[in-house]
Amino acid sequence: MGRKVVITLHKNDLRVHDNALFHAAHDAKHKDVTHVLPVFVFDERFVELSGLPGYQRQGPEARTRQYKFWRTGAFRARFLLEGVFDLRDTLRKHGSDLLIRFGKMEDVTADIARDLIENGDEVKEVFLQEEFYTEEKAIERKLRNNLKKAGVPLTCFDQVPLIHVDDLPFPPKSMPDVFTPFRKRVENLPQFGRPPLPIPKQFKPFPRPTKPDHLYPGFGGSIIEKDHRGVDYVLQCLLQPLQDTFQLRAGSEGKNQKSAFPYAGGETAALQRLDFYFKDGSPPPIARYKETRNGLIGHEYSTKLSPFLCLGMVSPRAIVAALDEYEDKFGSTQNTYWIRFELLWRDYFLFVARKFGSKLFTLGGFEEVTDPKQALPKLKNGWWKTWDMDKPLADSVEHEQPAVRWMQGNTGVPFIDANMAELRESGFMSNRGRQNVASFLTKDCQIDWRLGAEFFESHLIDFEPSNNWGNWQYVSGVGNDPRASRQFNPIKQGNDYDPHGDYIRAWLPQLAKVPTPRIQCPWTMHPSDRSRLIPAKSYPARPVLEQPGWRPHYNRKGPNKHGVPNRNERVRNPGPAIVGRAGRGSSADGDSGAGSADDKKAKTVAGSSGDRPKGGQQHHHQQQKPQDRRWANAATQTTGEARERESRASARVLEEAHKNGHRRASSKETMIA
């Protein structure tokens, strides 16, 4: 008798815990299903596959839309691969397996379904995690059609956000445009996210091909199943085409020792990190989240769960369950509140992206819908500068295009460049860094924000469309949140968050000898000191531009006369990465802009109005025309006052949370399938 098969098609849900696909395939409704076939397809539209020997690409290279970066850069390629093979290992431990293929998801899956049917099996259904971006939706439609021709239905599961869409206190289309009303309404829900779904006790068997030597269709059978190739070989193939100007070789050589994210990809490493952060030590690192979350060095300063979340190696509900467990032991604190708060930012961007569809990726952003009048000037030629991609690299950094200097980490502003170096050399950047480099690109250099979003898309290990593009819109002032006129002062931010210059020296070793009081602004040193302390041609002599608002921060205040460090020097940072239990994963291969309660402290260069400086005040070393105060009317302003109000409101919520404990989903509550 033929087997009754469900295909679980995995993409950004690389886990067995709290996975609706596995849960459904093993629930009572699917009793008659005898076999489950988990499949992962590396899709040529998202990952460049041309380096695989014999692979014939059907469409164009896997590059970003506007600026043509590789969509999946070296670090995420490795992380993804590690995650896929880790899922296979875990499934094997559960008596199942994972079929790995390369191609176009909708074609490969339909071919596999047909192959099973031809073999006399019945393919009952294909399960897929639902994603709401335009491209993903189009692929889902094609998959549905292809499967329909084979008589197989497709069922999608909406499981990416923490708060299930059906639990929202408003229809998704009425999603509030501003974070605070969203947060307030969601925080009032009786449950803060549903409890995680249990892992099936006994996985249904993997339907092995019944004919000898038969391989399921799709490119890769001979590489993976016949030649038993693993992460290292496939990675080498995937990295081969990525060696061009802005794409680093790094990633092929393994993790950067300095990285704040030293983990392998996969559910195993994700759960180890979760345990480390929420359970290891008394108290565990979470007990210092609020105080350290703006750190820059080492792995402990924040949860480092975003890369795992983005590829679904950990579920947001599993994080909340760990928070609950921690609170049962240690009580709820500001630290636990803040992690919930950050997870809500993630949901906010996910739901906002659903509401505005393709506007997530367009120049005018969400603002084009929410405030077309305000969006109009930003759509006109000349508002945004751009990158002339056809122009060859200049002979010296001084003649280089500002966009290129930003990407290379050669702006001459060390705090910006150190962050960009970290991104390019490790695939990670702190939230603090992301806000600063995004503000610098879009507000100081006035360059098309999509260049930044696409560069991040290519380089970040934790790239996720709504969180990346949504945050870029937010910082660059084209989003739906009227508090859009933020501009960071990189000198002040450097003084505040890297007061001794340790972070800068770690990522820009050429500045190692620059004395701390000049580390944020080395161009202010006497030329003779500069040439004595900085190796020739290793760092720009002048920054790409200089804002008048930076100057008061050049002479940073040191400790007071009693030796008490200034406020900024008290920002604690746990120090260099400790690679211990939570170090590399088990694989042998191996004021947040938006998202933060203290975001309200973000200062603007031009004072409380958040304006751009007046024409002529901005001094560009690169020949750039001074801009007028166009940001003044570009958004309902984030005045210091408004930020204050928001801060006070957050503080009140915190207080309440302290008093009442959080309304949260108890792990004892009924399981919702």
Ligand X SMILES: Cc1cc2nc3c(=O)[nH]c(=O)nc-3n(C[C@H](O)[C@H](O)[C@H](O)COP(=O)(O)OP(=O)(O)OC[C@H]3O[C@@H](n4cnc5c(N)ncnc54)[C@H](O)[C@@H]3O)c2cc1C
Sign, Cα dihedral of 214, 220, 225, 228: positive
**Alpha helices in 267-383, H assignment, sequence order:** 267-279, 289-292, 306-310, 316-330, 334-356, 367-370, 372-379
Q: Does 304 bind ligand X (CB under 6 A)?
A: yes
Q: Measured between alpha carbons, how far is 130 from 160 in angstroms, rounded to an integer?
A: 8
Q: How far apart are CA 144 and CA 128, in angstroms?
A: 11
Q: Which stretch binds ligand X (CB under 6 A): 335-343, 363-371, 381-389, 528-536?
A: 335-343
Least separation, in Å, of the C-beta of 146 and ligand X?
30
Q: Rounded to the nearest whole angstrom, what is the least distance from the CB of residue 438 to ligand X in the complex?
A: 4
How near is the Cβ of 434 to ligand X at its closest, in Å?
Answer: 4
Q: Which residue is nearest to ligand X (CB)?
A: 595
Nearest CB to ligand X, comparing residues 220 and 465: 465
The residue from 44, 324, 342, 425 that contacts ligand X (CB under 6 A) is: 342
Q: Which is nearer to ligand X, 433 or 590 (CB)?
A: 433
Applying CB under 6 A, which of residues 272, 302, 485, 587 lies at the interface with ligand X? 302
Q: What is the DSSP letter of 225?
A: I
Residue choice 72, 96, 159, 471 for contact with ligand X (CB under 6 A)? 471
CB of 621 to ligand X, least distance (A): 25
From the list 467, 471, 517, the residue with the least C-alpha distance to 495 is 517
Smallest gap, in angstroms, from Cβ of residue 657 to ligand X? Answer: 17
Query: Is 304 annotated among the ligand-binding residues?
Result: yes
Residue 416 near residue 477 (C-beta atoms within 8 A): no
| Position 346 contacts ligand X (CB under 6 A) | yes
Enumerate residues 588-607 that contact ligand X by CB under 6 A. 592-595
Q: Environment class of residue 529 by beta-carbon count within 10 Å: exposed (0-12), middle (13-18) or buried (19+)?
A: middle
- C-beta closer to ligand X: residue 430 or 547: 430
If one asks whether residue 495 binds ligand X (CB under 6 A), the answer comes out as: no
The answer to the question of residue 577 lying near ligand X (CB under 6 A) is: no
Stretch that binds ligand X, among 90-98, 429-437, 533-541, 551-559 (CB under 6 A): 429-437
Assign residue 8 a region (left: φ > 0; alpha: ψ between -120 and 50; beta: otherwise). beta
Q: Which is nearer to ligand X, 219 or 503 (CB)?
A: 503
From the CB of 629, what's the least distance to ligand X, in Å? Answer: 24
Scan for tokens 């909340």, then name that residue: 320
SS3 state at 453: helix
85 binds ligand X (CB under 6 A): no
Q: Which distant-in-sequence residues (6+ apart) come within 8 Å of 593 by Cβ?
A: 431, 434, 435, 438, 439, 471, 474, 475, 486, 599, 602
For residue 423, state whether it binds ligand X (rule: CB under 6 A).
Answer: no
Question: Distance between CA atoms of 39 and 44, rounded to whole angstroms?
Answer: 16
Q: 3-state SS string over 645-671?
A: HHHHHHHHHHHHHHHHCCCCCCCCCCC
Any binding-site annotation on 75? no
Q: Does 131 sit near ligand X (CB under 6 A)? A: no
Beta bridge partners of 157: 129
DSSP letters, 105-137, are HHHHHHHHHHHHHHTT-EEEEEEEE---SHHHH
DSSP per residue, 483-543: -------HHHHHHHH-TTSHHHHHH-GGGTTS-GGGTT-GGGS-HHHHHHHS-TTSS-SS-
Neighbouring C-alpha atoms within 13 Å toward the C-beta of 147: 26
Q: Which of 143, 305, 420, 461 binds ligand X (CB under 6 A)?
A: 305
Residue 166 burial by Cβ neighbours in a 10 Å radius (0-12, 13-18, 19+): exposed
Give the β-pairing of 619-620 and 545-546. antiparallel
| 349 assigned to a ligand binding site | yes
587 appears as a binding residue in the annotation = no
Q: How far is the C-alpha of 544 from the C-alpha of 527, rounded, in Å?
A: 17
Q: Return the residue of 102, 179, 263, 349 that touches ligand X, per CB under 6 A.
A: 349
Hey, which residues between 440 and 469 contact ligand X (CB under 6 A)? 456, 460, 462-464, 467-468
The distance of closest approach from Cβ of residue 3 to ligand X in the complex, given in angstroms and rounded to an integer, is: 39
On the question of a cis peptide bond just before residue 515, with omega within 30 degrees of 0, the verdict is no
Instruction: Kindly tell me which of 88 and 346 has the beta carbon lying closer to ligand X.
Output: 346
User: How many amino acids of this chain bind ligand X (CB under 6 A)?
Assistant: 33
Among 6, 475, 582, 635, binds ligand X (CB under 6 A): 475
Query: Please, what is the minimum distance in Å from the beta carbon of residue 550 to ligand X?
Result: 21
Q: Which of 34, 272, 431, 627 binds ligand X (CB under 6 A)?
A: 431
403 belongs to the binding site for ligand X (CB under 6 A)? no
Q: Is 345 in the site for ligand X (CB under 6 A)?
A: yes
Task: List residues binding ligand X (CB under 6 A).
Answer: 293, 302-306, 309-310, 339, 342-343, 345-346, 349, 430-431, 434-435, 438, 456, 460, 462-464, 467-468, 471-472, 475, 592-595
Binding residue numbers for FAD: 289, 302-306, 342-349
